[in-house]
Amino acid sequence: MSSTRTPDPTPGWLSDEELAEIRHRLPLLYVEAVPVRLDGMGEVTEVGLLLRVSNEGAITRALVSGRVMFGETLRDALYRHLEKDLGPMAFPQLPPSPTPAHIAEYFPFPGSKYQDSRQHAVSLVFVVPVTGTCEPRQDALDMTWMTPAEATASEVLSEMEGGRGSLVKAALASVGALP
């Protein structure tokens, strides 16, 4: 006799306890997006950075970021996190074949180039043109659009946690947008 199970309504999601256990045993895969606005020639004119409150209560600048779920394509994960963080009217322009602009490996150890105290994670970083209106949601407080020069200024990069300032520079360099 076989038993019939009701399918999990959120396959790929982990409980907080499961996630904590897995974070201590395996690297997790993330996607991160650097939202940009382009001119008519495809040159980056603006870079969008989110404002968030860190776990320590500090206001920080952040990128669109999140885990890739089991069975989810990179394209779907990227779109889901862009919509979650920027709102449904952001209209991100995902390429036909998403190829990361940069790959970052986060370690839970102080002194790592990219650091995340919770886990070892690998993040695929994408530069994503956005054409619509961004209205931050979830835990994002605001979205600030800056020129590439403003976004890569040392005072702005220092407001980003875990080495993400150098990640922004690497992503913008990959599309020829460093000042």
Provide the whole-model pTM: 0.85
Look at residue 37 and tell me whether its pLDDT is greater than 60.
yes
List, in sequence order, every residue forming a beta bridge with 64; answer none if it has no partner: 33
Q: What is the pLDDT of residues 43-75, one digit of tens each?
A: 999 999 999 988 788 899 999 999 999 889 999
The pLDDT score that the predictor gives to residue 49 is: 96
Look at residue 126 and tell me whether its pLDDT is greater than 80.
yes
Give mean pLDDT, residues 102-129.
92
Burial class (CB in 10 A: 0-12, 13-18, 19+), 17: exposed
Domain ranges across the chain: 26-174
The CATH class of 26-174 is alpha beta
Give mean pLDDT, residues 135-162.
92
Q: What is the pLDDT of residues 5-25, one digit of tens each?
A: 444 455 556 787 887 777 777
The pLDDT score that the predictor gives to residue 11 is: 53
